[in-house]
């Protein structure tokens, strides 16, 4: 086989494995639960990044494995270095330009997604998550009583203000793709638009002392009218 034929065979193997690899990445759901608009955007980024990395990884592995298997020295064959290769201008330019375009495209894609998640968006529902050693409490504007459970209406933009009473905590709801530190003395924020009703788990994601593992919160997403009714009940609840 000529050098050109070897290159074509290796390129064919690379292409076939890349197609299979990308299909697997796109077919698999990487995030276990996707229950918010933000988590959908993050999942899209995971899929794009992983799918793009498959052909790049195979571009290294396939030629290496092909060379090892195909050009293995025969038993007793005298070993010597091959002829030196000085340069291959078009390959080098193509490599640099392709990498540059890929990185720039990904950075634009990432910036757009990040602004979408973290940009300044007014929420139609406001809630404050208060972290303390070792529990979460949730307060809603104009209501004195606190809730142990975070209840949100489906399909509405929620602006969560996150505060801490003592040490650094982190408010994390994996199904929403949200994780934001709660820092004593300042307010941090997370925006989330829940897309499905249901029960989800919230968890402190910053080691905050002896009871850290118990610092969990129930998160419940309900229909908007059910949310209004629940809020009315909370309003009537005696403040603690």
Residues that bind Cu ion (CB under 5 A): 169, 204, 208, 215
In whole angstroms, the minimum distance from the beta carbon of 208 to Cu ion comes to 3
C-alpha angle 182-191-179 in degrees, rounded to nearest 5: 45
In whole angstroms, the minimum distance from the beta carbon of 67 to Cu ion comes to 52
Closest CB to Cu ion among 153 and 202?
202
Closest CB to Cu ion among 151 and 215?
215
In whole angstroms, the minimum distance from the beta carbon of 206 to Cu ion comes to 6
Bridge partners, 181 (sequence order): 170
Give dist(CA 180, CA 186) in Å, integer: 13
Closest CB to Cu ion among 158 and 208?
208
Bridge partners, 127 (sequence order): 160
Closest CB to Cu ion among 134 and 227?
134
In whole angstroms, the minimum distance from the beta carbon of 213 to Cu ion comes to 10
In whole angstroms, the minimum distance from the beta carbon of 117 to Cu ion comes to 23
CB-based burial, 31-69: b 16+ in 10 Å, e otherwise? eebbbbbbbebbeebebbebbeebbeebeeebbeebeee
Closest CB to Cu ion among 35 and 215?
215
Residue 126 near residue 141, CB atoms below 8 Å:
yes
Per DSSP bridges, beta strands 216-222 and 150-153 are: parallel
């Amino acid at each position: 086989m000529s050098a050109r034929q070897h290159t074509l065979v290796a390129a064919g193997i690379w292409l076939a494995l890349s197609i299979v690899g990308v299909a697997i990445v796109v077919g698999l759901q990487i995030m276990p639960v996707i229950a918010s608009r933000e988590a959908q955007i993050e999942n899209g980024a995971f899929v794009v990044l992983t799918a793009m990395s498959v052909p790049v990884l195979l571009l290294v592995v396939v030629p290496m494995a092909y060379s090892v298997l195909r050009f293995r020295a025969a038993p007793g064959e005298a070993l010597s270095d091959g002829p030196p290769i000085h340069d291959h201008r078009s390959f080098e330019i193509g490599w640099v330009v392709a990498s540059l375009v890929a990185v720039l495209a990904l950075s634009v894609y990432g910036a757009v997604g990040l602004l979408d998640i973290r940009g300044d968006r007014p929420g139609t529902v406001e809630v404050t998550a208060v972290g303390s050693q070792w529990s979460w409490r949730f307060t809603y504007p104009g209501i004195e009583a606190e809730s142990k459970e975070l209840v949100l209406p489906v399909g509405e933009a929620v602006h969560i203000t996150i505060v801490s009473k003592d040490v650094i905590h982190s408010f994390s709801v994996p199904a929403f793709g949200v994780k934001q530190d709660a820092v004593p003395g300042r307010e941090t924020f997370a925006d989330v638009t829940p897309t499905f009703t249901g029960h989800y788990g919230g968890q402190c994601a910053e080691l905050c002392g002896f009871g850290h593992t118990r610092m969990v919160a129930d998160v419940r997403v309900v229909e908007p009218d059910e949310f209004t009714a629940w809020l009315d009940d909370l309003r009537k609840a005696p403040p603690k």
